[in-house]
Structure 1
């Protein structure tokens, strides 16, 4: 009887030890992968998993690096939305988001800019203007609130409507801007530069 009890005890200890090892493996993988634990491949070593998941993250960071210039497939059209999700830098100065006709050069936008939004942190302003054939129009300044906080995330949504853009930040309308460029399909490039980090575009 005592012998049988000792055998059972030994098996339970072995099983408990195996479970501890498995739990330790799972914990280390979860910590290493963070929120990506649902992307883990089938069982294998820890190193190959890191190799499989890290490169796409670095690629995404490179693609969304600021300054950013990207193509809008099909240009703007009624009902289309541009979404920018990111985080303000810890010590921000200003940042720009612009919708342009063509990509221009790496330093300068093209002659037609449908909307340029400049967010300035020093005086807490959100300035908007447009450029037609190289000539900038008047600046619009009025906003009901200043929604951007240093080192904090944000979501900007630009909605294209019949006669205007409507811009929301974190779900609240910040301003609207009447179309100066009336051929919406020609508005085909998104520019972003300044004191922010982009995490997602839509």
Structure 2
């Protein structure tokens, strides 16, 4: 069976007849798989090829909406659905603009853990670009925003390779995933 150019580049397409010229490798990493017809639209859900592992990092670049309320970036074990979200959320980052908080939490076996909220400053500005890096290490995720390390989040989900999906929603536009 022939492999399409998009499949070779790591994009998981349902329709082999899609126009592969729509795929721009500068927008999305081969480690994130997604149907190119929905590329970088919010809400976004894409597969992390091979799951997470120490040394792997996820980069989300975007622009905050002009009148933002909040946005969420989640690393989950499976996609889930709107009615039934995944049982395990390894990391959920939530930017709340009204309270100027950048929260993080995890959900294991359907139970949400405590919310961590202490950060030195709120790094997001309405209508401005940002770059979030999530570095996976053996014991924790290290989160950087615009090159500044903001916090560490220790793993709650025991199997890093099971963390295979990134979900993004809220008051932002995604400009690049890596």
Q: Classify the TM-score, shorter chain.
A: 0.7 to 0.9
Stretches of structure 2 lacking an aligned partner (at least 5 in a row) = 1-20, 25-34
1:2-81, aligned counterparts within 5 Å? 62-81=38-57
Structure 1 residue 182: Cα displacement: 1.6
Once the two structures are TM-superposed, the CA of residue 56 in structure 1 deviates from its matched residue by 6.0
Q: Distance in 1 between matches of 2:98 and 2:37?
A: 28
Name which structure has the greater RCO, CA cutoff 8 Å, separation 6+.
Answer: 2
- Number of the residue aligned with 1:150: 126
Decide whether aligned partners of structure 1 residues 108 and 193 sit closer, same or farther in structure 2, where only a CA change above 3 A counts: farther
The runs of 4+ residues in structure 1 deviating greater than 2 Å are: 54-57, 59-62, 106-109
1:172 aligns with 2:148: yes
Residue 109 of structure 1 and its aligned partner are, at CA, apart by: 2.5
Q: Aligned residues, how many? A: 148
Whichever of the two has the greater Rg, that structure is 1
Q: CA deviation at 1:107?
A: 5.0
CA distance in 1 between counterparts of 2:68 and 2:47 reads: 26
The structure where strand makes up a greater share of residues is: 2
Which is richer in helix? 1
- Paired residue for 2:137, among 132, 150, 161? 161
Which segments of 5 or more consecutive residues in structure 1 lack a partner in the other structure?
1-53
The answer to whether the aligner puts 1:186 opposite 2:162 as a matched pair is: yes
